[in-house]
Amino acid sequence: MSLLAKIAEIEAEMARTQKNKATSNHLGLLKARLAKMRRELITPKGGSGGGTGEGFDVAKTGDARIGFVGFPSVGKSTLLSNLAGVYSEVAAYEFTTLTTVPGVIRYKGAKIQLLDLPGIIEGAKDGKGRGRQVIAVARTCNLILIVLDVLKPLGHKKLIEHELEGFGIRLNKKPPNIGFKKKDKGGINFTVTVRLSLSLELDGDAVKSILAEYKIHNADITLRSDSTADDLIDVVEGNRVYIPCIYVLNKIDQISIEELDIIYKVPHCVPISAHSRWNFDDLLEKMWDYLHLVRIYTKPKGQLPDYTSPVVLPTEHTAVEDFCLKIHKSLLKELKYALVWGASVKHNPQKVGKDHVMEDEDVIQLVKK
């Protein structure tokens, strides 16, 4: 029996099973089995694997990477060529783009790499089409733009989300706050530090049955937030990536104003027309917000700050130390202190050490030993 057939069988059994307290353990077990099989699908056992496929792996350049994901013929290539001025082959038939086409835009001083990925079809996560390679490239992006056609139903959105979820990509979610620590002996220790509203899903027995599926019999599990069985499986699997996502609804030049007003209310969504270049500034602004980048300007001694080319850092790594490492790792050894102007200091300039955390558009001057 092939893996796909087994997966289909488990999905059918899950659909048949009623959700209640008596079946929650069984459902948890099935979910864990499903997650394991999905992982085997993505990374086949043994051998060197099937190679990455021609033209799929693109070297990462710039400060951030954005992938365009969507079904064939929704306007991903048109969007890329109009945003970045890169020519990605555009035609009126489906599957025009067959490999990853990179482009680069400069926005607010940051270099952002855009990747036009080939169209996804249903069943991509099971290796249909070039789906496996497409989604593998999508995993390396800092932001995913799901490009949808306004005229086609929103069912496409659900399908693409389902394909990406099957590959361990979680869209617009935070990692679940679950402590998981394997140990050598002592059985399974399950502690809950919050009140669970979804008490149907996770109790001591459900946790044990899920971990037993992974052959883990000694571990400490701490629930620090309201979590489901899926969240626990994500933590145990440990290969999930959490990526922000924007839904780009293309071809708005073909709908009425009333419909446009309704579309604007969908969360994480930007309506555009790639062909007529409508609403690009709104899209770029939203992309910037979701990338969570911070610009730091440099100031050579005795000169004015250089506002043209900032050093761009991700929001979670904005200490002076991270700034030095981004430029060159030898800089940290020579650093005596830094002078910082801007929102992160109490007075301008302020003398700070390598642990000082900077904010967007701060100016820094490094003083060497």
Evaluate if pTM is beyond 0.95. Answer: no
**329 pLDDT exceeds 60?**
yes
**312 pLDDT exceeds 70?**
yes
DSSP assignment of 24-57: HHHHHHHHHHHHHHHHHHHS-SSSS-S---TT--
The rounded distance, in Å, linking the Cα atoms of 91 and 170 is: 31
> Residue 322: what pLDDT?
87
Average confidence (pLDDT) over 189-214? 76
User: CB-based burial of residue 110 (10 Å sphere; 0-12 exposed, 13-18 middle, 19+ buried)?
Assistant: buried
**362 pLDDT exceeds 60?**
yes
* Greatest Cα pair distance in the chain: 73
> Residue 47: what pLDDT?
46
Average confidence (pLDDT) over 226-251? 84
- Quote the DSSP letter at residue 364: E
- Quote the DSSP letter at residue 2: -
> Residue 130: what pLDDT?
58
CA atoms within 13 A on the CB side of 107: 24
**50 pLDDT exceeds 80?**
no
Mean pLDDT over all residues of the chain? 79
Q: In which band, very low, low, confident or very high, does the pLDDT at 53 lie, cut at 50, 70 and 90?
A: very low
The rounded distance, in Å, linking the Cα atoms of 72 and 94 is: 5
Q: Are strands 306-314 and 293-298 parallel, antiparallel or unpaired?
A: antiparallel
* pLDDT > 70: percent of the chain: 84
Q: In which band, very low, low, confident or very high, does the pLDDT at 266 lie, cut at 50, 70 and 90?
A: confident
Measured from the Cβ of residue 337, the count of other Cβ atoms closer than 10 Å reads 16
> Residue 93: what pLDDT?
45
Q: Hey, what are 313's tokens?
A: 């850092």
When computed from its CA atoms, the radius of gyration of the chain, rounded to whole angstroms, is: 24
> Residue 49: what pLDDT?
46
| pLDDT-wise least confident of 108-122, 211-225, 242-256, 327-341 | 108-122
Phi, psi of 112 (to 5 degrees): -120, 125
Is the distance from CB of 157 to CB of 80 less than 8 angstroms? Answer: no
- How does pLDDT run across 134-179, given as a tens digit for each residue? 777 778 888 888 888 887 767 778 888 887 887 778 888 888 888 8
Average confidence (pLDDT) over 281-304? 87
Q: In which band, very low, low, confident or very high, does the pLDDT at 48 lie, cut at 50, 70 and 90?
A: very low
Q: In which band, very low, low, confident or very high, does the pLDDT at 325 lie, cut at 50, 70 and 90?
A: confident
> Residue 110: what pLDDT?
83
**51 pLDDT exceeds 70?**
no
- How does pLDDT run across 8-23, given as a tens digit for each residue? 888 888 888 888 777 8
